[in-house]
Amino acid sequence: LSHLDEERAKIAQERGRLMLQAAKERAVEDGVAEPSTRQRNGTLVETLDELEEEIRLLVIGKRGETAHQAREHLGSNLERVVRGLHRPILMVPETFKRPERVMIAFDGSKTTRKGVEMLAKSPLFQGIPVHVVIVGAETGDNRSQLDWALKTLRDAGHEAEGAIRAGEVEPTLHAYQEEQNIDLLVMGAYGHSRIR
């Protein structure tokens, strides 16, 4: 049994090495000057926890190897990573499409303000129109919060639009995303507000 486990470990290690090599080659083709790779033992969550201080943005697939079993659900690794990592995470579908419009779900909380500031400063979003959407009533406070977000983005050189929409959070955001052909949604994952 231990011999079989040893063989499985060798196969997994070689498979990982080949995946990293292919990813590195693709990064070079896409213009990354000197991509670095690391192969580690352990679970994904444990490894990311050890590397958290070095991570500016984690890019991770929406679903893993068992994606064919549950097309509408997020992968189990993704959920564990989102709960455990305290860094921005970009969840991507199987097929990449360069975002042309970004939407941030905003409620004026400290967390979503930090998200607006981070998006405003990020070179990843330069040249991409940003939509800020508040789901709630058209109140003076919501208008003030939206104006702050739009000013922050515009001051950083972004083309920014905003909307306040009444309704339930998820269907309202989804409807706006469809109406405006939004490619990328930025939002908190686990907070105390209605937007998570």
In this prediction, residue 154 has a pLDDT band, given cuts at 50, 70 and 90, of very high
Q: What is the mean pLDDT of residues 16-21?
A: 93
The CATH class that applies to domain 102-186 reads: alpha beta
Residue bearing the bigger pLDDT, 188 or 83: 83
The DSSP secondary structure of the chain, one letter per residue, reads: -HHHHHHHHHHHHHHHHHHHHHHHHHHHHTT-SS-------S-HHHHHHHHGGG-S-EEEESS-TTGGG-TTSPPHHHHHHHHH--S-EEEE-SS----S-EEEE--S-HHHHHHHHHHHH-GGGTTS-EEEEEES---HHHHHHHHHHHHHHHHTT--EEEEEE-S-HHHHHHHHHHHTT--EEE--SS-SSS--
Q: What is the mean pLDDT of residues 18-33?
A: 92
pLDDT score, position 60? 83
Residue bearing the bigger pLDDT, 139 or 9: 139
Most confident of 19-28, 57-66, 88-97: 19-28
pLDDT score, position 72? 55
pLDDT score, position 153? 98
Q: What is the mean pLDDT of residues 176-181?
A: 96
Q: What is the pLDDT of residues 69-120, one digit of tens each?
A: 555 556 677 778 888 888 888 888 878 788 899 999 999 999 899 999 999 9
pLDDT score, position 141? 97
188 with 115: CB under 8 angstroms?
Answer: yes
Residue 67 pLDDT > 70, yes or no? no
| Count of beta carbons in the 10 Å neighbourhood of residue 191 | 14
Residue bearing the bigger pLDDT, 126 or 190: 126
Percent of the chain at pLDDT > 90 equals 51
Q: What are the residue boundaries of the structural domains of the chain, listed by start?
A: 1-39, 42-96, 102-186
Residue 65 pLDDT > 70, yes or no? no
